[in-house]
Structure 1
Amino acid sequence: MSSNIKRRIVVISGPSGVGKGSINSVLRKDKHLSLEYSVSMTTREPRNGEIDGVHYFFVTNEEFESAIANHELIEHAQFVGNYYGTPRKYVEQQLQNGKNVILEIEVDGATQVIKNEKDVLSIFLMPPTLQELANRLQGRQSETPEVIKQRLDKALLEVPLKHTYQYVVENDTVENAVAKITDILEKENAAQSDGPTVFDRLKVMMGNLVENNYMFFVENWEMNVKILRDNGVITTEEFNDFDAKEKMINILTARLYHRVLAHGEFSDLLDRDFVENQVQRLMFKINFFSIEQKFEE
Structure 2
Amino acid sequence: MSPALLDHLYVPDNTSPADALARTTHLAIGAHQDDLEIFAYHGIETCYDRADMWFGGVTVTDGGGSARTGEYSDYSDEQMKAVRVEEQNEAARLGRYAFQAQLGVPSRVIKDPAAHGPVVAQLTELLRATRPDALYLHNPADKHATHIGVLLACVSALRELAPDDRPRTIVGCEVWRDLDWLPDGAKIPLPVGRLPELERDLIAVFRSQVAGGKDYVAATLGRRRANATYFNSHAIDAAAAVTFAMDLSALATDDSLTLTDLVTPHLDAFRADVLRKLAAF
TM-score with structure 2 length normalisation?
Answer: 0.35
TM-score with structure 1 length normalisation?
Answer: 0.34
